[in-house]
Amino acid sequence: MYEKFEELLKKNNVTAYRVAKETGVTTATLTSWKQGKYTPKREKLQKIADYFGVGIEYFTGEGPVEETYNQGYYIDEETARTAQEIYNNDKILFDVYKTADKDRLIAYAKKLSELRKLEEGEEWLYYKGYYINVVMLDKSYGIPGCVKHNADDSYTIFIDASLNYEKQHEVFLHEMRHIIGNDFEEDDVQNIEMKNHMYDYFLEISAELFPNTKRLQIVSAN
């Protein structure tokens, strides 16, 4: 059964660690499953199945298997449609889990629209030709962050203030890739987010393969 899970990981370009973080199924559970010591209960299998957009039959073999893969990033069609509409109207790209529901995106976008316009004289980061302002939000509706392309061609990155420093840094880098990668020149949000989160995926893979890179030392071959 775990082999089927691995197939989904490869097909969707995600790591077991990310699945654990986004579904609430612990990494210990997934590790024990991989080692053949434990088979997740039906409730946990359902969470994993929902995450990948497949029926639980994919794992249990009960009845016909219906795969509902989405070629883009967001699994839910309504969420994908909402994200596209917000992008078209407000030029906002979200750093959010692929299983996010549309109501979170709508509430978050509404909050941003109610924020006062940044006044002249506030500090801006100037980097490689881009003017960037970073705003920490005390209420983010469970969304780690987003980036908005402003009418004056500047950018504002919004980050959840409740996140720890490491996660805030990850969100900042994610949004910067949107800016430097000229993602706002593209039209399809599904493709934009798939591309950017694949980069996140490769970073996670490297962290798993080289967990102690900070402590590695260069050894002379002489």
Q: How far is the C-alpha of 141 from the C-alpha of 39, rounded, in Å?
A: 33
pLDDT 10s digits, 135-164: 888 877 888 899 999 888 889 999 999 888
Q: What is the mean pLDDT of the chain?
A: 79
Tokens of 201: 């995926």
pLDDT class of 45 with cuts at 50, 70, 90 = confident
Q: What is the pTM of this model?
A: 0.61
CB atoms within 10 A of CB 40: 19
Helix (H) or strand (E) holding 126: strand 125-127
Backbone angles phi, psi at 130, to 5 degrees: -115, 135
Q: Which fold has domain 2-60?
A: 434 Repressor (Amino-terminal Domain) (1.10.260)
CB-based contact 56:46 (threshold 8 Å):
yes
CB atoms within 10 A of CB 157: 22
Q: How far is the C-alpha of 95 from the C-alpha of 84, rounded, in Å?
A: 14
Q: How far is the C-alpha of 214 from the C-alpha of 4, rounded, in Å?
A: 34
Backbone angles phi, psi at 25, to 5 degrees: -80, 120
> With 80 as the cut, is the pLDDT of residue 106 above it?
yes
> With 90 as the cut, is the pLDDT of residue 99 above it?
no
pLDDT of residue 128: 74
User: What's the whole-number mean pLDDT along residues 58-65?
Assistant: 66
pLDDT class of 63 with cuts at 50, 70, 90 = low
> With 70 as the cut, is the pLDDT of residue 200 above it?
no
Helix (H, G, I), strand (E, B) or coil at 16: helix
> With 90 as the cut, is the pLDDT of residue 54 above it?
no
C-alpha distances in Å from residue 37, one per residue of 29, 133, 136, 142: 9, 49, 43, 33
Domain boundaries, the chain: 2-60, 77-207
pLDDT class of 84 with cuts at 50, 70, 90 = very high
- With a CB cutoff of 8 Å and minimum separation 6, the contacts of 131 are 124, 125, 153, 154, 155
